[in-house]
Amino acid sequence: MPEPERPEPPERYEPPAYDPLQPGKGEAIAPTGQGGPIDLALDEAESLEKPLGDDPTGPGPREKARSLWSDAWHQLRRNPVFVIASLVILFLVVISIWPQLIASGDPLQCELSKSQQGAEPGHPFGYDTQGCDVYTRTVYGARASITVGICATVGAALLGSALGGLAGFFGGWGDSLLSRVADIFFGIPVVLGGLVFLSVVTSTTVWPVVGFIVLLGWPQLARIARGSVITAKQNDYVQAARALGAGNGRMLLRHVAPNAVAPVIVVATIALGTYIALEATLSFLGVGLRPPTVSWGIDISNAASQIRNAPHMLLYPAGALSITVLAFIMLGDAVRDALDPKLR
């Protein structure tokens, strides 16, 4: 009894709902040009997007969202990585608001006679080439980094998730347009774009740098938000709400957004770390922040040429920078782990 083989409807391979490393439908290129950390962030978000829609028997959207977050919080409190990262970040935020708390000196007051001298009592990190106290400058450098990081992240996250969320929710030509525009930004290597864009700016404030990072950063967050909104939109209860006649605004705010926001938050947290690194890199290349702003990037750049004579000048700001970036990335990683139902 031969099985009647039907003319195969060639079983369509369904690619995963959203693979950030691969361009999706209508997207021309993968956003991998932005460097490793962002790839990490995108990858982490991917694993968050899939499982949320898996559970057709689960409770309604709001209960689900709430229990997801409260479970996550419960788990996070007991995760040492999360606790340490949060404490480091809290400390950084505090000293960037009140640097005087732990550094009594003035970062701009320098004694040339002490140029490149090593540590001495009261000046544990020694002096730089200008004779400025490295400890004071390292403490004050946090302010620029944290300001740039937070402002750029808030800007990019708001812009990106608004545009991406709306595009994913409504689809249509706006969605296509957004994908096209995002592609264009992914086509420009970040550091290069920064060099070109910022070399013509002469302002000494942090705002051009923030603006540039938002400009090149929003497309990533838009793609993440778009992907997770599309995933959330396909959930059965969202379809049910639509069938019951819920309006678009209500659907988006009450049913879709709470379930789509987790990947965006994770990516934004990790992105914050990478933005701080990007600011330092740009400052290092001489186009980011400019003196008299105190920035780790500038100090590292100045110290680099003197590394043979006075490695301490490089070590302390570089260490502070690395720890800051690490803290944000660890925080994002821990939040990801806590929000991922697969790992429970």
Which span (16-24, 108-116, 149-157, 243-251) binds another protein, by CB under 8 A?
A: 16-24
Is 24 one of the binding residues for another protein (CB under 8 A)?
A: no
Taken in order 292, 293, 295, 298, the sign of the CA dihedral is negative
Q: Which of 9, 52, 51 is nearest to 256 (CA)?
A: 52
Q: Spell out, one character per residue from 245 to 264, where the chain touches another protein: x when CB under 8 A holds, - when not.
A: --------------------
* CA–CA distances in Å: residue 226 to residues 25, 37, 47, 221, 223: 12, 20, 15, 8, 5
By CB under 8 A, the residues from 134 to 153 that bind another protein are none
Is 211 one of the binding residues for another protein (CB under 8 A)?
A: no
Cβ proximity to another protein, 49 vs 333, nearer residue:
333
Q: How many residues bind another protein (CB under 8 A)?
A: 68
**Binding test (CB under 8 A) with another protein, winner from 17, 24, 33, 211:** 33
Report the first-to-last Cα separation within the chain, whole angstroms: 48
Distance in Å, CB of 301 to another protein, minimum: 8
**Binding test (CB under 8 A) with another protein, winner from 132, 252, 256, 321:** 321
- Residue 309 gets the label, from left (phi > 0), alpha (psi -120 to 50) or beta, of alpha
Backbone angles phi, psi at 86, to 5 degrees: -65, -40
Distance in Å, CB of 12 to another protein, minimum: 6
Q: How far apart are CA 206 and CA 244, in angstroms?
A: 49
Is 333 one of the binding residues for another protein (CB under 8 A)?
A: yes
Report residue 74 as tokens: 């419960």
Is 21 one of the binding residues for another protein (CB under 8 A)?
A: yes
- Amino acid symbol at 306: Q
How would DSSP label each residue in 239-282? HHHHHTT--HHHIIIIIIHHHHHHHHHHHHHHHHHHHHHHHHHH
C-beta separation of 43 from 267 below 8 A:
no
Q: How far apart are CA 288 and CA 193, in angstroms?
A: 12
- Residue 166: CB atoms within 10 A of its CB come to 18
Cβ proximity to another protein, 28 vs 101, nearer residue:
28
Cβ proximity to another protein, 197 vs 237, nearer residue:
197
Taken in order 241, 242, 245, 248, the sign of the CA dihedral is positive
Report residue 165 as tokens: 């969320």
Which span (115-123, 146-154, 156-164, 278-286) binds another protein, by CB under 8 A?
A: 278-286
By CB under 8 A, the residues from 164 to 193 that bind another protein are 180-181, 183-193
Distance in Å, CB of 310 to another protein, minimum: 11
Is 195 one of the binding residues for another protein (CB under 8 A)?
A: yes
Report residue 232 as tokens: 């959330």
Cβ proximity to another protein, 13 vs 173, nearer residue:
13
Is 313 one of the binding residues for another protein (CB under 8 A)?
A: no
Cβ proximity to another protein, 27 vs 257, nearer residue:
27
Q: How far apart are CA 69 and CA 226, in angstroms?
A: 21
**Binding test (CB under 8 A) with another protein, winner from 169, 237, 284, 316:** 284
Is 71 one of the binding residues for another protein (CB under 8 A)?
A: no
Cβ proximity to another protein, 51 vs 258, nearer residue:
51
Distance in Å, CB of 47 to another protein, minimum: 8
Report residue 207 as tokens: 């705002």
Q: Point out which residues bind another protein (CB under 8 A).
A: 1-3, 5-6, 8, 10-13, 15, 19, 21-23, 28-30, 32-37, 39-40, 43, 47, 180-181, 183-193, 195-197, 199-201, 273, 277, 280-281, 284-285, 287, 300, 304, 307-308, 311, 314, 318, 321-322, 325-326, 329-330, 333
